[in-house]
Amino acid sequence: MKKWVNQNIKMLTPGSGTLVNVFLFSFVCLLVLGGTSGAASKTRDRVYVKRAVDGDTLLLRSGERVRLIGVDTPESVHRDKPVEYFALEASNFTKKMAQKKFVWLEYGSEPKDIYDRILAYVYLEDGTFLNAELIKQGYAFAYRKFPHRFLDDFQEYERQARFNAVGLWGRFSRGRERYDVIWIGSKKKKEYHHPSCFRGAALPKNDLVRFYSKHQPRDKRFKPCWNCAK
């Protein structure tokens, strides 16, 4: 292949001055450069998952940790936070899906986060997209802080999970009423949240109060949290 390219580059040097030769010469150069850069770039790896640390973090056999892009599950192992609502369920789901199995990693625009964890989209051997599945089944929120190529899809999956009251969203439904007509609040702080608020999702069960009317929180002198008041 290299011999053929070298021969054709010599033949197509733009000495004749014809537009056709110049075009062909440029095209061959692009092929060569494109093939080289494509071979050098690495976008997918097959790795072995030693353990699921929690719902959105994996520990590989290599000792490296992987943080799933665009996904935020309730905290189960945070040093400064108690175990959050539905955290153990999310962690167990990820364990069932990926622990002690080979998976494929695909990478985004940033290779690692500030904690030196690999940032990746995780695909199981059967093609299941783990990042998306966590959100679809109500084990995770769509993480909106940083843009990524599946952000719109993930937000739609979350909306559907909330509407269908699956997973962690199940506590926000009562009969036919869905998340969009319910507020939740903290008894201690007298503060209320929209069900999609990440601060509300972290409330422990013994501090949680539910409101089934949009006027109830203010009638009971609860104030909106800073995130919901935006």
pLDDT tens for residues 132-158? 999 999 999 999 889 999 999 999 999
What pLDDT does residue 217 have?
86
What number is the average pLDDT over the span 5-27?
Answer: 48
What pLDDT does residue 165 have?
77
> Buried b vs exposed e over 79-92: b needs ≥16 C-beta within 10 Å?
eeeeebbbbebbbb
Of 69 and 8, the structure prediction assigns the larger pLDDT to 69
For the domain spanning 44-163, the CATH number is 2.40.50.90
Between the alpha carbon of residue 55 and those of residues 48, 64, 94, 103, 119, the distances in Å are 17, 16, 5, 15, 14
Residue positions annotated with a catalytic role: 67, 75, 117
Domain ranges of the chain: 2-40, 44-163, 182-224
Residue 64 CA to residue 107 CA, distance in Å, equals 15
At residue 30 the predicted structure's pLDDT band, cuts being 50, 70 and 90, is: very low
Q: Which residues contact 151 (CB under 8 A, 6 or more apart)?
A: 70, 142, 144
Alpha helices, DSSP H only, in the chain?
2-11, 19-40, 87-98, 130-136, 151-163, 198-201, 216-219
pLDDT tens for residues 171-226? 655 555 554 446 889 999 999 887 767 777 778 888 988 887 767 888 889 998 88
